[in-house]
Structure 1
């Protein structure tokens, strides 16, 4: 485990599309998904050259902070690659990647020169799909890049994530920590064809930038001494706009090459990289605008996504360390563990008198009998840690901390499972449920053992009965010690103190309160409802006429209503529709009958079953016309109904009779807007203006204030 953790810290190679980071025994820039075998050490060294007859800048010059242009000519760029990888376990590989870069011809600036690249660390794990291994392989890698590279050298950025949109660009380094996750897929199409693929996402933490990397390539004759390789690889920013344009202009290249397998697991790789600008015209609009810094000076220019032409040569070798390691382990296992090294003992085994595999200088129990299982100190195992070794322990599962006899068993006279030395109740009966002190268990400490306790969770301090339940004389669910109202009625709803609940605080408990939401401070009766002595619907606190007769219509203040304002309250008024200013008698009826609309309405009669008025009705019509002419401020509502059995369709007949009266009045010069005629079938409305004394059948004439309508 220590060896594994150490190798995780010395992590690994990252197989990205950019030249200088793709290292594997399969492919050139697009590696395979297979990991190194356990004990295999893979070492690679290489040289890469990116150069053409074009300068590194697309403009052909660089611009300093003063606006001066410094012309560039041919700008060679070289890289020396180094990588070491190791197979830790089956399907697990770790490694370390380092590089040194050189850029020349920097337009007279100090950007020209050597510099270190960032340190790449990786852990790569392969999916152990044994059943499908002949068809394809899948792997995943986690990579970390440490910003250990040189910051103020170089013209051509080695990676897309070195180019920061709103910050300085460093050709040899990202200048920030980066991490990436990558998936790999190798498809074994044929013995002579392998198809390698990878895709991943890199995160630059300092600039919050995300880069998508990808690659695909075919290996032809992968197991022969000469293999042909055809690959396409690239890296592009993850963006939401201009995706295709960015894909073509970031970093995209085609890499033909070959691998030559030499003796002793040595491989020679030669390849060319063909960038997109080799196949199209170089344009500034397709490049990346950058600003670099050197000795306090800033230079701005535009670089292509990848060089038009690059070439590289690499040597790699795999060392099989598994045989040597296994041989060393075998020799170590053949001798007992000892503080002395094999070298000190001249490869002889250290003394081990009890032959337990632990040398005497480390053996804490040098007299252990043979064939007894021991721990790393040479002592017999004592799994229950009672001081008696397992091979002597007759009770191997003794609870930790219990005193035992020489056979490893506790002394327990009453057989309750508690040692006599710890038993505070040494005379417990067999089968009783006891606690850690050996006494009968009483979890709620109410004096009643659990076996007899019907209320096992009684709160501490309460008096209980023989069944372990708290005392509650009024059966309200509140213990007597807490009950401030100990005489509650049965099934009465009480609060936590045992007193009846009065939610609206009106002095009447909820179980008797028929008016549950009475406002606070209001006087209520025995049922919790507000007081209304005269039963007029207005509570005493608001009633200005508290002695109104029962059923008398009242206003909002509880006083009797006088709808026709004749001085006689409606409940005493036999003529509730008297016109304003009319002199009335004690019953509220006009002293002059021709001003009494109720009596006039009773005189309007019709021939049975028809809408033809009797001759006597026209005198009443004339009286109505006279009233309407002398009272210009009133409007008149005409209501008609018919008697039961008077017509097949009572509604139609009642409407026709109302219309006859309406038409007569209009013909006599009464304006239509002062009249309203309605038929009600068999029954007139039972209540008008809160009054119920109007005739229920026949004709009804109800005046209204015309000015308001």
Structure 2
């Protein structure tokens, strides 16, 4: 097996985007290729035993001008893999186990991205191309054939690095669609994680976890080609340094430190797998199998002996239910001639091959039918039918609804029993409401009026407005409605009159379920009059709902936080406002703050990116001042901050916004 893997730009190398040496000097990473050439050779010692050798060659591109760039070998891996022999349920599942030993032969002073988790040693140097340590791994494999077109593949194992005493859990699970076709679709998830007793879930997500969709193409001469994309966890979430692994690499007497993610966000690979049939056993087996007829007898002594087939129809005698079939007659899987209409006369003798099942036939497979109505004489109760008449299964003229009008003349062949019909077989309906006159309790319905089964107008919700005029068909009983059957809401606040405790609310003012204006921050000023709708608890406010003390007014504090044009760095005057935010957070332990940032038009070609950077700067400033991360959220919104949920707050549309909310409440419910 040979292949090539390529990871994306500099992202798999360093979360920070730079390296730092022992003097503190930073080496900035730009686009850094990170490629691997894969190689594996295996030999089938027995039908169920394989031995193999694994050796990869790696290459990392320029690492900020350091000497880490270059080509290097990975560790040699020696593997023995065994499958259960003579497995009776092999058509359902396959089970195998492997033992692999890694010899630390890899290059030690090249590379930026560690190729495996066990190459990363806590408190020691990391060699991106080698574990620098002997390691042994045991792995179990299980494939389940759920359906001919669906296979479920799984593996799980434990790897032990001896010198460093580290244990790594490796696993993978995926499905293969159309495993026997020339193109198969593969969907797999896999990972590597350290075996630990604390932070198990966090380690599982951060060590190495990837999703790998791909295609497998079968080529001639026992060759397959696989094309895969590896999608790491950091592709689906915000990249954070806290999720990375801190490592130190050594090269030419220098040390470089940086933080790498568990797995690259994006990597692609292409692999070719070729099997060489050294003994010719595969081709020999296929030829022998094709030469033998179907048989329940087993092949003995690997000589592929065929069971006898007296009539040479391709079905061995021990399975042939019709051992004397004439030559060149089409047969089914049991060795008998086909009889597609199941009339007891085989197809090669049947002159009427489409006889209805159950009809008696003569020796040529045809029914006897004197009046040619399609009903055999033996079953015909009306043997003198006229040519062209439609008859039932008894051979008599057909009147399906038994209304006295034969089907051939009946325009309404499904008339209910007992109703009077006209000459065309349709029931009488004078007012044309779809209800027969015999059932109609309201025989004078208006045209197009919707009626019930008794022919009377329907008023489903009993509000006095018939359904054909009612635009609100499910009105509750007893409530007042207008001329089209809809409930009354004079002030148009979404609360119907009978439930509205405040029936004169101004238009578009936010109201609660009783129809009264909402005071979200409970400061005594309702939302549609409140210019500061996010006031902190127990804060004195003026008539407009804004804190009397400006140091408690987060909206005004936010307006004082300003940044240098086109930069994420704030003006010096902004640090006073940021300190005021820290003071509020320290004295109000029960609240959290959402930081929202936007930028002015023309400040940046990437306004969302700049807005995110500004929000993250405020986030980091507050964290560094002692505010816990779980009390903060940071978001960038490009050129325009989102509309406030109440619609009345006069908040700054561009710049910085600070929205408080209670920690115990859902984060989306702003206090």
TM-score band w.r.t. shorter chain = 0.3 to 0.5
Q: TM-score, structure 2 length as denominator?
A: 0.42
Q: TM-score, structure 1 length as denominator?
A: 0.39
If you compute each CA radius of gyration, which structure gives the higher value, 1 or 2? 1
